[in-house]
Each structure stands twice: as structure tokens, then as C-alpha cells.
A and B are shown apart, each in its own frame.
Chain A
């Protein structure tokens, strides 16, 4: 199975700055999803982007997908301390159902 690989592993920024996290994968995908996990809490679904889409927005979140480079990015604009969490990308297998998670990016937003 393939795996999304997030980059960087850890990111520390000041409140109000933008945070960009990247995800690369190895083989063709049908969909890619981004999740957030606050420390000791469950996963929260952020955005799903399909292979025929290039960009999606949700509030302060912007996700791009470049299938030619097999990569995706998650941009959080005007970050807040509450955005401090781990962010995971998940790519599906060829059957489009079983998602495989990357190791995650730990984002720290400092007040």
C-alpha cells in the first residue's frame, strides 16, 4: 500500500502567520484527505480533495493537489493558537476506500 508523507514533521509559527504543510505520495490516487488531531483527542476530518480537483477551500484552510508531482499542500491562513495540533494526510488505495495515513506534521502556533 502507498503512504502519504507529510513535510515538515514539525512546524512552529507565531499566531497570525500562515502555516503550510505538504504531503507526498508514491502512486496514483483517487482521493486525498487532510485530518487534524489535537493532543490526546480524536481525528477531525478537514477536507477531501479528489484526483480531478486542483484546489479546495474551507474557511481558513486551502488545499491544493498536484497529481503530476504526487503532492498536496494544506495552507492554514491567519493561524491561531487553537490550530496547534497534528495534521495528517491520508491517501486512498486503488479501490478508493481504505485510506493510508502519513506520519503527520506537528504544528505549534505560539501566542
Chain B
């Protein structure tokens, strides 16, 4: 399966600032996804990162708050903008292993704490 890395692995940020999380895959993948996992909760899909076009956001998530870039088939970034303590979560990127396989594999996650 694809090897997925994320940077940073964790960060503590002040409210009002922004943090950009990077996701790197060791092979070209068509579909990349960004999820959020709040403390003690399950995962919630934020958006699908499309290469060469704007990301597709799920209900409750907007581009101004979570801008996403997907410059090529192995890399994506998620920015958490104007952070508040409610943004404290683990942020995970995932990829679809093989176009049309529907099997998703996840990066190790970025643990964000906003003070």
C-alpha cells in the first residue's frame, strides 16, 4: 500500500493564527481526502482534494476556513485558518489505493492544539 506522511506530526498554535499541514504520498494517486477527528470522536470528512481543480468540501466545511491545495498527484496541503480552540483535532489525509479500488489508506495524522 502507499506510504503516506504528514507534516507536522503535532503543533500547538495560538488562536487567530493559521497552520498548513502537508501530506505526501510515495506514489501517484488520483483521490486524496482530508479528515478531522476531534477528541474522542470518529472521523469526519472535510474535503476531497482534486488535482488541478478546487477541492470539494463537505457540508459544514468551507474553503475560507480550510483552504486546500493539490498541485500534483503525490502532494496536498490543508490549511486551518484563523484557528480557535474548537479546531483542536487530529487532521488526517487519506488516499484511494488504486483508482476505483475504494480502499482508503490514511496518513499518521497531525495533532493540532489551539490555545
Chain A residues near B (Cβ < 8 Å): 1, 30-31, 33, 35, 41-45, 48, 50, 88, 90, 92, 96-104
Chain B residues near A (Cβ < 8 Å): 1, 31, 33, 35, 41-45, 48, 58-59, 92, 94, 96, 101-109
Q: Contacts A92-B102, A98-B45 given: A42-B58 contact, CB under 8 Å?
A: no
B106 touches A42 (CB 8 A): yes
A42 touches B104 (CB 8 A): no
Across the A-B interface, the 3 shortest Cβ-Cβ residue pairs = A43-B106, A42-B108, A101-B43
Q: Which of A31, A43, A44 has the most CB of B within 10 A?
A: A43
- Subset of 11 A-B contacts with CB under 8 Å: A33-B104, A35-B106, A42-B92, A43-B94, A45-B103, A45-B104, A88-B42, A88-B43, A92-B102, A97-B102, A100-B45
Q: Contacts A48-B103, A97-B48, A98-B33 given: A43-B92 contact, CB under 8 Å?
A: yes
In the assembled complex, how far is the CB of residue B70 from the closest CB belonging to chain A, in whole angstroms? 15
Residue of A nearest to B44 (CB): A101
In the assembled complex, how far is the CB of residue A47 from the closest CB belonging to chain B, in whole angstroms? 9
Residue of B nearest to A104 (CB): B42
B residues near A104, Cβ cutoff 8 Å: 42
In the assembled complex, how far is the CB of residue A8 from the closest CB belonging to chain B, in whole angstroms? 15
B residues near A88, Cβ cutoff 8 Å: 42-43
Task: Determine the main DSSP class of A at the interface with B.
Answer: strand
Q: Contacts A88-B42, A101-B42 given: A42-B107 contact, CB under 8 Å?
A: yes
CB within 8 A of A45: which of B48, B105, B108? B105
CB within 8 A of B106: which of A1, A45, A50, A97? A45
In the assembled complex, how far is the CB of residue A39 from the closest CB belonging to chain B, in whole angstroms? 11
CA distance A27 to B69 in the complex (A): 32
